[in-house]
Amino acid sequence: MLQLNNITYKKKNKMILNGISAEVKQGDSICLFGPNGAGKSTLLKVMAGLIEPNKGVYKQGNFTSKPVGYIPQQLALFPNMTVKDHLSFYKKMTKQKDREFIEAMLNALSLNEIKKKKVEELSGGMARKLNLAVGLIHKPDIIFLDEAFVGVDLAAKHDMLRWLSLLNEDGVTIVFITHDWHVIHHLAKTLWVLEDGQMLINFRLNSYRKKLRSTSSLTAH
């Protein structure tokens, strides 16, 4: 379990996170939701261990021994390198030897068919999928996604959601930021609503999702 205890983060006397307390259970899928400037990206960075809070305690416990997967909103790709080059580079860097996992991910994200293309030749949606794939190549146990679905069309969104749902069903914990209700509906088990650096709502959607699933199976018969 991850534990956030009274997390406070200030920058130049501006209070960006103001006493946030919550916990993350293994296998959960949490959406951070709220208006622009609410502090979502800052909280995600604290949780991914990229920045230190000024006050409060953040414990990762025995959650994972692997590095976390952090997918930034800005694409972390090299324009002149091909899709294949990116995958080889990150595979080597993370010492990932699980070929089966990588193949499954490339198939799920429909990246196999564009392996020879350079990043500068990719559409926005394809680049987003590659950005996701390189961030997940080491098969992390916990994934942080900062608006990873911006600008992707329905087909690409579907590929990404299906792959992330599969990982989540396999026990991988996901914490993600989105403004897209379609993504929330399909991926979130828990919703955290932030405003002015505070947690307004911490709401479990799991039972709601289960109810929806049983309703849809009833209507299917």
Ligand X SMILES: Nc1ncnc2c1ncn2[C@@H]1O[C@H](COP(=O)(O)OP(=O)(O)OP(=O)(O)O)[C@@H](O)[C@H]1O
Cβ 152 to ligand X, closest distance in Å?
17
> Is there binding between residue 69 and ligand X (CB under 6 A)?
no
> Is there binding between residue 74 and ligand X (CB under 6 A)?
no
Q: What residue ranges in 72-189 does DSSP mark as E strands?
A: 142-146, 173-177
156, 125 contact by CB (below 8 A): yes
Cβ 40 to Mg ion, closest distance in Å?
5
> Is there binding between residue 37 and ligand X (CB under 6 A)?
yes
The residues with which 71 forms a beta bridge, in sequence order, are 145
Q: Near ligand X by CB under 6 A, which window of 6-14, 20-28, 119-127, 132-140?
A: 6-14
Cβ 15 to ligand X, closest distance in Å?
9
Cβ 184 to ligand X, closest distance in Å?
14
Position 147: which residue type?
E
77, 19 contact by CB (below 8 A): no
Position 206: which residue type?
N
Whole-angstrom distance, CA of residue 135 vs CA of residue 21:
27
Q: Helix or strand or coil: residue 116?
A: coil
> Is there binding between residue 60 and Mg ion (CB under 5 A)?
no
- Give the chain's radius of gyration (CA, Å): 18
Residue of 30, 40, 46, 152 that binds ligand X (CB under 6 A) = 40
Which partner from the list Mg ion, ligand X, none does 36 bind, CB cut-off 5 to 8 Å by kind?
A: ligand X
Residue of 41, 60, 110, 123 that binds Mg ion (CB under 5 A) = 41
Whole-angstrom distance, CA of residue 105 vs CA of residue 109:
6
Q: Which residues bind ligand X (CB under 6 A)?
A: 11-12, 14, 16, 34, 36-42
**Residues in the site for Mg ion, rule: CB under 5 A?**
41
